[in-house]
Amino acid sequence: MKASIIAVGWEVLMGEVKNTNTEYISSKLRELGVETIFSAVVGDDLEEASKIISFCIENSDVVFTTGGLGPTPDDLTREAVAKSLGIGIAENSQAKQWIEGYFQKTGMSMPQINYVQAMLPDGSEPVWNGLGTAPGVYLEKSGKKIVLLPGPPREMTPMLNAILPRIASPTQKIYSRDFHVYGISEAAMAERIEGPLARKEKPLVAPYASLGHIRLRVWGEYKNEEEFSNDLLETEVELKNKLSIHLFPDTIEAELGKILAGKKLTLSCAESCTGGLVAKTITDVPGSSGYFMGGCVSYSNQAKMDILGVKPETLEAHGAVSEQTAIEMAEGCARVFGTDCAISTTGIAGPGGGTPDKPVGLVWMGFVWPGGSKTIKRVFGGSRDDVRTRTLMTVLFELAKEIR
């Protein structure tokens, strides 16, 4: 079963109101085995809205609209749906009764303009709105299901959940499993797993890239979870063979925590350019107190010397952003906190502060673990936050790789 979702309203189209409704409806449909194939945002324009609705009805089994059910002249969704279906529109007595009851309950007088909200497309039925004056609309025509819901999420959400049992696919449900990829670019990953990405039959593999991290979703429509699990196992083995150390079943901070806990290793971190982001992310994981002993933000050179024991001559000869400083920060951190492993970050996050020899985005990272140590140099692009996020993902992955 395929669905389309249309958000109606100039305020959404112009970006004045965030369109959270489409995301929510799509996620709920996915749980039921209904695939969203198209979404759109259209202004309060009768002709344009009816064109979009007609397209969606023609190409989908079920169509949802949100917004445009108010009492003002620019609320045209009811009329647009009727126009797209070639049907009339008339007052619905039940909807009228609900609207009158809403005003009676609140003790307010009812403006005559609100009666327009009881005008529904022929053959439709109203959907109860317990939080506002706009009834929803449910309509079936020529095997298609059309659902009109109000725009405010607090009204839309309970109405959607009440109507969803009438939408569910009777035989199929969408199942999915996420994997996480680190330490490799999206293009390089795509080359390695070209087969699964290009595959048209289930399960499908879809990548979602962000800074320093790629989420791989394996999904498909199945009758039950056992059927999905059988296909998933084969795909998981294929992904592991092709991506090797870059593939993790959970986020890198959670995976690093599992490795440390499993090996009974402890960790600390010394941060400069990341300003505490590494420690914050590590401690976001429940149970991290079992392996994370502490960290420091040694932002100034004085702090690097006083807290971590970085040699003054190292800073004088090589500067704070250097291989030598990075490894002394990591070694000093492990010593101060008495940990088996340590991470350090020192760099130029920007937007200023760069030089021809040390440009904005340059980061040196230091690592210490039982029996080994190393440094890594990277020059990251993007904003100040981008540089910090990429550094975070890199240090967590690199330590996980070394101790795994």
Work out the end-to-end distance of the chain between its first and last CA atoms, rounded to an integer number of angstroms: 43
What are the start-end ranges of the E strands in 117-190? 119-121, 125-127, 136-141, 144-149, 173-181
Both 9 and 120 in one domain: the answer is yes
The domain that holds 181 is classified in CATH as 3.30.70.2860
Amino acid (1-letter code) at residue 286:
P
Instruction: With 0.85 as the threshold, say if the pTM is over it.
Output: no
Give the mean pLDDT per block of 10 residues along the chain (404 residues). 95 95 94 90 97 97 97 96 97 96 93 96 96 96 96 97 85 86 96 91 92 94 90 95 97 98 98 98 98 98 98 98 98 98 98 95 98 97 97 98 95
Count of structural domains, the chain? 3
Cα distance between residue 322 and residue 147, in whole Å: 60
Are 266 and 260 in contact, with CB atoms under 8 Å apart? yes
Cα distance between residue 289 and residue 282, in whole Å: 10
pLDDT of the residue at 190: 95
The domain that holds 138 is classified in CATH as 3.40.980.10
Both 43 and 56 in one domain: the answer is yes
pLDDT of the residue at 170: 62
Last residue of a domain, one of 184, 213, 248: 248
Are 164 and 31 in contact, with CB atoms under 8 Å apart? no
- Kindly give, in sequence order, each residue whose CB lies less than 8 Å from that of residue 365, ignoring residues fewer than 6 positions away: 326, 343, 344, 345, 346, 375, 376, 377, 378, 391, 394, 395, 398
CA–centroid distance for 43 within its chain: 26
Both 38 and 146 in one domain: the answer is yes
pLDDT of the residue at 200: 83
pLDDT of the residue at 171: 67
CA–centroid distance for 295 within its chain: 29
The Cβ of residue 386 has, within 10 Å, a number of other Cβ atoms equal to 16
Last residue of a domain, one of 248, 269, 293: 248
Both 143 and 94 in one domain: the answer is yes
Both 292 and 202 in one domain: the answer is no
Q: Is 15 left (phi over 0), alpha (psi -120 to 50) or beta?
A: left
Both 228 and 276 in one domain: the answer is no
Joined together, the tokens standing for residue 165 give 């049992």
Both 133 and 6 in one domain: the answer is yes
Report which of 289, 298, 312 is spatially closest to residue 269, judged by C-alpha positions: 298
The domain that holds 381 is classified in CATH as 3.90.950.20
Both 93 and 155 in one domain: the answer is yes
Last residue of a domain, one of 100, 134, 166: 166
Joined together, the tokens standing for residue 268 give 């600390």
pLDDT of the residue at 1: 84
Cα distance between residue 16 and residue 43, in whole Å: 12
Both 343 and 275 in one domain: the answer is yes
195 is in which domain, residue-wise? 173-248
Report which of 377, 342, 340, 343 is spatially closest to residue 362, judged by C-alpha positions: 377
Helix (H) or strand (E) holding 324: helix 323-337
As a 3-state breakdown, the chain gives helix, strand, coil percent values, each rounded to 5, of 45, 25, 30
pLDDT, tens only, 120-164:
999 999 999 999 999 999 999 999 999 999 999 999 999 999 999
Both 369 and 235 in one domain: the answer is no
Both 90 and 103 in one domain: the answer is yes
Both 159 and 183 in one domain: the answer is no
Helix (H) or strand (E) holding 7: strand 2-8
